[in-house]
Amino acid sequence: MPAPYTLAEIASRLGGRVVGNADTLIRQVGSLEHAGADQIAFFSHLRYKQKLAATRAGAVVLGDGAQSLTVIPRIVCENPYAYFARVSQLFNPVLAPEPGRHPTAQVSSAARVAASARIDAGAIVEDEARIDERVWVGAGCHIGHGSSIGEDSRLYPGAVVYHECRVGRRAIIHSGAVIGADGFGVAEDAGQWIKIPQIGGVIIGDDVEIGANTTIDRGAMDDTIVEDGVKIDNQVQIGHNVRIGAHTAIAGCVGIAGSASIGQHCTIGGAAAILGHLTLADRVNVSAGTLISRSINQPGTYTGVFPFDRNASWVRNAVMLRHLSDLADRVRALEELLRTKEKNG
């Protein structure tokens, strides 16, 4: 059970301004709908006004423009959602691993494992692998030859890191994730496919989270790179030699084909697809279900869903669709010209 904090203590740690009883004692976070008297909720949008009015939470986090919408004790801040995330971290700290190795774990004598690390049942750590301080390797995980896991990282049960891959500090890798499987490299010859050996690796930066059953392929020759602070949801496929810029967030079921380069601070919505060898600039936001078929050189939000067709027809229609706005402007200009001519006889 986490220690309780008063609103004053929370604000002293995380910032913000307390309005109302600063001695209100909080033991946990909760939703507006279900929070109790010892929980704190958050309010981020006017569409939830009715829920705010009906909440039984002991306190609420909200923005400057919303502080007058309730009389319950509250913390006023600039970004309620981000503030609430930090409050939740305060009440739900990450568990530190208890050091040790389960008797059924198979750890090579040629591996380097920090004394503070934890290796759970059935995990395998191969030759020349390195497990740094306070790493928690869950049950059934597999760490391949020569790979390294940075300090304070956690691998949930069943995660796999193939050979010669590097995972940075404070990583979270969820169950079923596979880091460093072969990229899809094949060459066609006389109707048969010839496998191209994938001799690159995967480099994962610090503070990266990788969702359950997500796959990040190793590079064909150079490495696949995921930079610091990237957050990847479940069931995402990242092809070989992809580069993902720092602090980009990728929602579930996204597919990124080989050699694509994604900029920093991007967001990619669920089930979006990015074709290979494309480049996305920094701060590009791709809407859910959108197919990115050409590089994006300017920041902004990009959206598009277009029905499939025979390729030649699809390409012609797509070209016309891209110019539809210009065509509409030209039609309006012609209509205005006709009206002017009619008026003038």
Q: Please, where are the H alpha helices in the chain?
A: 7-14, 49-54, 80-91, 311-322, 324-343
**pLDDT at residue 226 tops 80:** yes
Hey, what are 37's tokens? 């008297």
Mean pLDDT of 47-72: 95
Output the six-digit token pair for 133.
């301080």
Segment 128-146, tens digit of pLDDT: 999 999 999 999 999 999 9
- For the stretch 297-320, pLDDT in tens is 999 999 987 666 788 887 888 788
pLDDT of 265 > 80? The answer is yes
Q: What percent of the chain has pLDDT over 90?
A: 85
Q: Give the per-residue pLDDT at 316.
A: 84
Instruction: Return the pLDDT at 3.
Output: 86
CA distance 242 to 256: 8
By C-alpha distance, which of 192, 197, 191, 237 is closest to 219?
A: 197
Cα–Cα distance for residue pair 108/187, rounded to 1 Å = 36
Separation CA 15–CA 338 (nearest Å): 63
CA dihedral sign, ordered 115, 112, 101, 233? positive
> For the domain bounded by 100-302, which CATH number is listed?
2.160.10.10
pLDDT of residue 307: 63
341 pLDDT band, cuts 50/70/90, is confident
What's residue 267's pLDDT? 98
Q: What is the pLDDT of residues 164-216, one digit of tens each?
A: 999 999 999 999 999 999 999 999 999 999 999 999 999 999 999 999 999 99
Q: Which residues are catalytic?
A: 240
Name the band, by pLDDT with cuts 50, 70 and 90, for residue 345.
low
Q: Starting from the edge strand earliest in sequence, which strands make up the sheet with 267-268, in order?
A: 100-101, 118-119, 136-137, 154-155, 172-173, 209-210, 231-232, 249-250, 267-268, 284-286, 300-302
Assess if CATH 1.10.3720.10 describes domain 5-91: no
Number of other CB atoms surrounding residue 84 within 10 Å: 21
